[in-house]
Amino acid sequence: MEYQNRQPEEGINTPGRHPLAEFIRLSIAALVALLLLGLLLNLAGGHLAGLIPYRAELWVTEKIDRMLVEAGEPSPFTIAESDTPLIEYLNTLGDKVEAALEMQSPMTIQLHYSDEDVVNAFATLGGHVYLYKGLLKQLPHENALTMLLAHEYSHVQMRHALRGVGGGLAVAFGAAVLPGGSGVNGRLYSLTSSLSSLNFSREMETDADKNGLKAVNAIYGHTAGADDLFELFMAQRDSAGAGALDGFFSTHPLDKDRIEALGRVSGEHGWFSEGATTPLPDAFLQWLDAAD
C-alpha cells in the first residue's frame, strides 16, 4: 500500500457566492433572528409583568420615589398634595371615572397637573396620571375631559405601563446576556424602557379607548362628545404638523380610525351617541393658569 499526500480540490472552502453578498445575507439573517428574539422577549416579559399583583407595582414605585427624593432628584411618583380648585375638580371627576370603570382597591389613581404648555397626558407606573395645561386648555367640554381621564385610567387598569416596562426589561436582559459591549446594552435598555414605559402599543391604545368610552357612557348616559377629544388632536396635528405633537400622539392610532372605532363600540353596546355635552366649570381656564 502506498500513501500519497494528495492535495484537496480547489475551492472547497469558498462558496460560489461573492463574499460580500454572503456577509450581507448572514448579517440580515442575524438581525432578523435578533429582532424576532427581541419581540418574543418583549411579549413574554409583558405578559409576565401583567401577572404581578398591583400591590407589588405600588411597592416598587414607592421605593423608587423614596430613592429619588433622598437623592434630591425629581420623582414622577411623589404624591402631589394639592387642594387647588382645579385638583379638587379633577379628582371629583376622576372618582366618577374610577367608579364607572369599577376600579378596585388597591388600584387608585394619583392625578398630577403640570402647567407646561405641552399638548400631552400620560399614565405611568403606580397609577400616576399626568395632565398638561397645553392639552386641558383646549378641551371643549367636560365630556372630552372625562374621555381623556377614562383613557388614561384604562391604561392603569389594564396594567399597560407595567406590561410595557416588563417587555422592555426582558429585552434588556436578553441584550445583556448576548455578547456585546455594555454601552450598547445600556443604550438598548434605555431605548426600550423609554419606548415601552410611556409609549404604549396601538393595540393598548385602542383597548384604552374602548374601555374608557364605557365610563363616558356610564357617567352621562351617552357617548356624545367623547370623540371631540380626538377631533382636537386631529385639528392640532393639522395646524402644528406631526413633529410638534408630544408623546400622547406618537403611537396612538390615527385619529380618524379612533373616532370611527368609538362610533362602532357605541353601536355595538347600544349606547346613545347623541346627547347634550356638559360644560367645563366657568373658572376652568383661570384654574389652569393659577394652579402649579
Half-sphere exposure for 6 (CA within 13 Å, toward CB)? 6
Residues 78-97 that bind Zn ion (CB under 5 A): none
Of the two residues 82 and 199, which places its CB atom closer to Zn ion in the complex? 199
Give the count of beta carbons closer than 10 Å to the beta carbon of residue 159: 20
| Binding-site size, Zn ion (CB under 5 A) | 1
Half-sphere exposure for 200 (CA within 13 Å, toward CB)? 27
Q: Which of 193, 183, 190 is nearest to 124 (CA)?
A: 193
Residue least distant from Zn ion (Cβ)? 205
User: Minimal distance in Å, beta carbon 130 to Zn ion?
Assistant: 12
Of the two residues 41 and 216, which places its CB atom closer to Zn ion in the complex? 216
Burial 275-288 (b: 16+ CB within 10 A, else e): eebeebeeebeebb
User: Minimal distance in Å, beta carbon 205 to Zn ion?
Assistant: 5
Q: Which three cell numbers stand for residue 109?
A: 389613581
Residues 191-250 that bind Zn ion (CB under 5 A): 205
User: Minimal distance in Å, beta carbon 286 to Zn ion?
Assistant: 28
User: Minimal distance in Å, beta carbon 204 to Zn ion?
Assistant: 7
Of the two residues 156 and 172, which places its CB atom closer to Zn ion in the complex? 156
Distance, in Å, from the CA atom of 44 to the CA atom of 178, rounded to the nearest integer, reads 18
Of the two residues 98 and 205, which places its CB atom closer to Zn ion in the complex? 205
Of the two residues 222 and 252, which places its CB atom closer to Zn ion in the complex? 252
Residue reference for cell 392610532:
253
Of the two residues 175 and 208, which places its CB atom closer to Zn ion in the complex? 208
Of the two residues 192 and 211, which places its CB atom closer to Zn ion in the complex? 211
User: Minimal distance in Å, beta carbon 197 to Zn ion?
Assistant: 13
User: Minimal distance in Å, beta carbon 121 to Zn ion?
Assistant: 8
- Give a three-class secondary structure readout of 74-103: CCCCCCCCCCCHHHHHHHHHHHHHHHHCCC
User: Minimal distance in Å, beta carbon 131 to Zn ion?
Assistant: 13
Q: Which of 94, 190, 183 is nearest to 142 (CA)?
A: 94
Distance, in Å, from the CA atom of 77 to the CA atom of 177, rounded to the nearest integer, reads 31
Burial 125-154 (b: 16+ CB within 10 A, else e): bbbbbbbbbbbbeebeebbbbbbbbbbbbb
Q: What residue ranges bind Zn ion (CB under 5 A)? A: 205
